[in-house]
Amino acid sequence: MADEPRQAIESFSLEGRTLLPPDDFKKDALVRDQSMYDQASEDWTGFWATQALALDWFEEWDTLLEWDLPFARWFGGGQLNVSYNCLDRHVAAGKGDKVAFHWEGEPGDTRTITYAGLLDEVQRFANVLRSLGVQRGDRVAIYMPMVPELPVAMLACTRIGAAHSVVFGGFSADALRDRIDDAAAKVLVTADGGWRRGAVVPLKASADAAADQAPTIEHVVVVRRTDHGVDMKEGRDHWWHDLMEGVAVECEPERMDAEDLLYLLYTSGTTARPKGIMHTTGGYLTQVAFTHKYVFDIKPDTDVYWCAADIGWVTGHSYIVYGPLANGCTGVLYEGTPDFPARDRWWDIIERYGVTILYTAPTAIRTFMKWGGQEPAKHDLSSLRLLGSVGEPINPEAWTWYWEHIGGGRCPVVDTWWQTETGAIMISPLPGATALKPGSATFPLPGVEAEVVDDQGKPVERGGGYLTLTRPWPSMLRGIYGDPERYRETYWSRFPGRYFAGDGARIDDDGYYWLLGRVDDVMNVSGHRISTTEVESALVDHHSVAEAAVVGAADATTGQGIIAFVTLRGDFESSDEHGQLLRKHVATRIGAIARPKTIVFTDDLPKTRSGKIMRRLLRDVAEGRSLGDTTTLADASVVEEIKRRAASAPTED
């Protein structure tokens, strides 16, 4: 019986409908009409200059934009400090007692962190970093669970002009070491562990394995979170709480140039080696503050905003830490999983803190759909007024469910398209002004210009093609750390003069943008970017593997799942156990998020006569489609054999 109303609603769809902003929402919205788009199209650089003035500058810029394609410099000559903009100016304006974060640990412990409290901790940790020898221009690696010390560490870096490189806590020791090496980080900030689904994630063990082999690391700072006993290496490792005791409470913010490096964030591309995406100070903060304010229609005095991402990804950098704090907003920070201790944890959090804005990923929404509408129905979610989505295309069914079951049919849903490289949201509705279409990210934001082009790079006014960006934007990546040529080659060479994002898109008859997913060898699993080549090299790095080809296949919950086709060396037997072993090997090399869902053992891979693996066919096999053109195959019988094996290969959830 309990299932009945749910089924009725699940068969209801908003697909194909256009939804005007609800009157109740629109009447108080920051943007209610097209005027901001008009302003931006009259003078797009001037528009960004106006947005930059929302920040506090020690010194105003003298050159708004220098554009030497593909290298941009925004706000040249300007000086500012990110931690000052996120903290000091709010405290100086009398908002020291305002809550910056309601933090909640997975076991249920909580902390309320005010702007004044955060400023105090940030200054002290900035002094700690200095005492460990960190100077302006250095890099600091951060590998932490979702605890308040994570944003403290990031902001402390910005205070003294060191760049941080946050590595998601789900990455392996190997992945962490590679990132430390690439950035030549001096200090690593970590924790004894974190809580996840009731168990301790042994972060310090991975941090040790990485730091032991990373010659640039001089000190490791360890936050005590789980207290389950870890090894501390004499001279190298220090407890956070020991260092914070007795350190000076004041630390003047460094005056940083607008173009100084703010952080590195590594992301997967089409090669095996992750790229250190570089973001700088003035342009990045300008665009994250602007987009956070207007896309989420922020009213700092009344909103309780929750971006339920992990700070280890760009979404957390821009929309948990920098955007919300620059706007003086109150946020929620939650450490654990949505199903601990029960499947209504998020809805319980929303009810208790009176969350007004929720920002999450389609994978989470589809998981909640699977768990059923009775979970959110246990809680009063009437505080919510706006919902956001990010990370993958949101299918109209998930959009409808989100709108209905979480938003109660009254909250606009903003689907926001962007990337680690873009730094901030690029395509999204402005919720008080844009008529929504479920499943569409709608239009480029004011100040942003996007075009869909065909194979030849010719703009397509209506229809499908490749999504490109046609002019620089303030929060754009400034390059790939240590590799300017790779930057040019990766993003600016496929369509000359345009930034190509790797995504396919379609423009419908009304000019709405529909994101269609990646068109390159990058998979999107639960909103996380993973490169097929990276997983392939992790597999062939195992001594039993002769050859491997990896594809992303459509998955109802996670968007895509990783399917690996593996040929073993002569002496090795294909078996379920061996499949498990290889999965584990990938998790050790990269992290659990990259573990293949299915491993199909095969004696051969489909190749062209010139020896190139035909992934397209493998994708067809993995998704159970009839096969496309096989005439270019060197040996057509290979595919039949693979199809047979794929049908019986064990799959892990």
User: Is residue 469 involved in binding ligand PRX (CB under 6 A)?
Assistant: no
The site for ligand PRX, by CB under 6 A, has a size of 21
| Nearest residue (CB) to ligand PRX, 81 versus 268 | 268
Binding residue for ligand PRX, selected from 418, 443, 499, 512, defined by CB under 6 A: 418
Q: Is 441 in the site for ligand PRX (CB under 6 A)?
A: yes
Contact flag: residue 502 with ligand PRX (CB under 6 A):
yes
Q: Which is nearer to ligand PRX, 80 or 309 (CB)?
A: 309
- Out of 36, 261, 515, 545, name the contact with ligand PRX by CB under 6 A: 515
Distance in Å, CB of 469 to ligand PRX, minimum: 12
- Does position 310 interact with ligand PRX (CB under 6 A)? The reply is no
Confirm or reject binding of residue 303 to ligand PRX (CB under 6 A).
Answer: no
Give the single-character DSSP code of 298: -
> What pairs with residue 573 in β-bridges?
none
Which pair of tokens denotes residue 31? 């943007």
Q: Among residue numbers 174 through 233, which ones bind ligand PRX (CB under 6 A)? A: none
Q: How many CA atoms are closer than 13 Å to the CA of 120, on its beta-carbon side?
A: 10
Q: Which stretch binds ligand PRX (CB under 6 A): 23-31, 40-48, 94-102, 416-424?
A: 416-424
From candidates 174, 192, 415, 521, binder to ligand PRX by CB under 6 A:
415
Residue 370, by phi and psi: left (phi above 0), alpha (psi -120 to 50) or beta?
A: alpha
Close Cβ partners of 472 (under 8 Å, ≥ 6 residues apart): 65, 67, 72, 74
Question: Which 3 state secondary structure label does DSSP give 124?
Answer: helix
Reported as type and span, the H/E element at residue 177 is: helix 173-183
Q: Is 291 in the site for ligand PRX (CB under 6 A)?
A: no
Instruction: Select from 417, 473, 481, 499 the one that contacts ligand PRX (CB under 6 A).
Output: 417
- Please, which residue, 208 or 503, has the CB nearer to ligand PRX? 503
Judged by CB under 6 A, which stretch of 112-120, 288-296, 390-398, 598-606 contacts ligand PRX?
390-398
Among 120, 254, 392, 397, binds ligand PRX (CB under 6 A): 392
Contact between 100 and ligand PRX per CB under 6 A: no
Decide: is 490 part of the binding site for ligand PRX (CB under 6 A).
no
Least separation in angstroms between CB 305 and ligand PRX: 17
**In the block, residue with structure tokens 């903009």:** 85
Query: What is the residue type of 28?
Result: D
Nearer to ligand PRX, 281 or 416 (CB): 416
When asked if residue 501 is in the footprint of ligand PRX (CB under 6 A), the reply is yes
Give the residue, chosen from 366, 529, 585, 589, that forms a contact with ligand PRX under the rule CB under 6 A.
529
565 backbone dihedrals φ, ψ, rounded to 5°? -105, 120
Residue 416 interacts with ligand PRX (CB under 6 A)?
yes
288 belongs to the binding site for ligand PRX (CB under 6 A)? no
d(CA 157, CA 138): 9
Shortest CA distance to 150 belongs to which of 382, 361, 322, 383?
322
How far the first Cα of the chain sits from its last, in Å, is 29
The DSSP symbol for 253 reads P
Segment near ligand PRX (CB under 6 A); pick from 159-167, 485-493, 496-504, 581-589: 496-504
Strands (E), 242-365: 256-257, 261-267, 275-280, 304-307, 330-334, 357-360
524 counts as binding ligand PRX under rule CB under 6 A? yes
Residue 567, judged by CB atoms within 10 A of its CB (0-12, 13-18, 19+), counts as: middle
Provide the minimum distance between the beta carbon of 293 and ligand PRX in the complex, in angstroms, as a whole number: 18
Of 357 and 441, CB closest to ligand PRX = 441
CA distance 595 to 597: 6
Q: Which two tokens stand for residue 567?
A: 């040929």
Q: Choose between 451 and 503: whose C-beta lies nearer to ligand PRX.
A: 503
Secondary structure string (H, E, C) spanning 489-554: HHHHCCCCCCEEEEEEEEECCCCCEEEEEECCCEEEECCEEEEHHHHHHHHHCCCCEEEEEEEEEE
Q: Tell me the window of 44-52, 248-256, 498-506, 589-597 that interacts with ligand PRX (CB under 6 A).
A: 498-506
Cβ distance to ligand PRX smaller for residue 192 or 503: 503
Beta bridge partners of 515: 505
| Contacting positions for ligand PRX (CB under 6 A) | 267, 314-315, 390-393, 415-420, 441, 501-503, 515, 518, 524, 529
